[in-house]
Amino acid sequence: MTDLTLDRYAVEIIAQTEQLTVSIKGADLTAPVPTCAGWSLGDLLRHLGGAHRWAEEIVRSRATGPVPDDQVNDVSGDDRADTAALGAWLSEGAALFADALRKAGPDAPVWTVAPGGTPVFWARRMTVETVVHRADAVAAVDGTYTLDHDVALDALAEWLGFIGLPQVYESPEAMRGLQGPGRTLHFHATDAAPGAAGDWLIDLTGEAPTVRRSGAGERTPGEAAVSLRGAAAALLLLMYQRDSVLDGGGDGADGAVEIVGDRELFEEWREGASAWLRR
């Protein structure tokens, strides 16, 4: 279950892409992206545009199995090209994808890389992809990044919802290596609306990682080994290791995350549960 509707995702994919293209107007496509080692700004835009078009093909064709993702992974191109032209191509792909989502509707069966099996999975996944890569673009041009808290909260929920899936880890052995007595993590989004589910307890003490989500302000059972507290956008970018994009000098600062307890456990777990992002 997601926090947002398919139509809201379609709106956000277009809006987030528009914000990205505005932020890079007149920028040098050869500029390095500090949050994506080895990539230029042009590489980043080609990757995101390719991801939109890949997901659009899956949804439009009602794919029943994997679709080649060469256009996602091949980021090569001429960074001497016009930034406006590449930005227009990116916006076009976002619009095509949003249109495909609306035509398919939320319940059409399609292939997905994780449990879901409907266009809503791809709508959410590409919204998060766009949100995170907009942060990368902002980092490349030394701009300012903000994100609506409901979008950030849903994106954070997606990340934490993946942690029980074996395929997000390097191997079953790597997943088991993160587990053990007393290994629990608590996330609290300080800007969750009243009644919204803004707390998560990650439990690594059992046979497989589990996550329990609860309403904002509700007490989470037990004392977690490490607790993270901050705005949803700050928590989200911390999980994607993009927290340097936000302003703030340290734990508890505006735009930063307060971490209390076993920081080493958090960093070990974040690294292990991020293996799917490095593939």
First to last CA, the chain: 25
Coil/strand/helix, residue 144: coil
Q: What is the pLDDT of residue 220?
A: 55
Q: What's the confidence (pLDDT) of residue 2?
A: 84
Topology alike, domains 6-144 and 151-278 = no
Q: At 80, list the tokens.
A: 């001497």
Contact 260, 229 (CB under 8 A): yes
The DSSP call for residue 166 is G
* This prediction's pTM: 0.94
Any alpha helices (H) in 24-147, and if so which ranges? 41-60, 70-73, 83-104, 119-141
* CA angle at 202 for the pair 196 and 248, rounded to the nearest 5°: 70
Residue 56 has what pLDDT?
98
Q: How far, in Å, CA of 36 to CA of 71, rounded?
A: 18
- The span from the CA of 182 to the CA of 185, in Å, is 10
Q: What's residue 253's pLDDT?
A: 37
CATH architecture of 151-278: 2-Layer Sandwich (3.30)
* 257 token code pair: 């995350």
* 3-state SS, residue 186: strand
Q: What is the pLDDT of residue 256?
A: 85
Q: Which residues contact 127 (CB under 8 A, 6 or more apart)?
A: 4, 9, 12, 13, 16, 151, 154, 155
- How many other CB atoms are there within 10 angstroms of residue 248's CB atom? 15
pLDDT for position 194: 82
**Would you say domain 6-144 falls under CATH 1.20.120.450?**
yes
Output the pLDDT for position 70. Answer: 94
User: What residues pair up with 258 in beta bridges, in sequence order?
Assistant: 229
- For residue 131, give the nearest of 249, 237, 208 by alpha carbon: 237
Q: Spell out the domain ranges in the chain.
A: 6-144, 151-278
pLDDT in tens, the chain (279 residues): 788 999 999 999 999 999 999 999 999 999 999 999 999 999 999 999 999 999 999 999 999 999 999 999 999 998 888 899 999 999 999 999 999 999 999 999 999 999 999 999 999 999 999 999 999 999 999 999 999 999 999 999 999 999 999 999 999 999 999 999 999 999 999 998 887 889 999 999 999 999 999 875 555 556 899 999 999 999 999 999 999 888 644 443 346 899 999 999 999 999 999 999 886
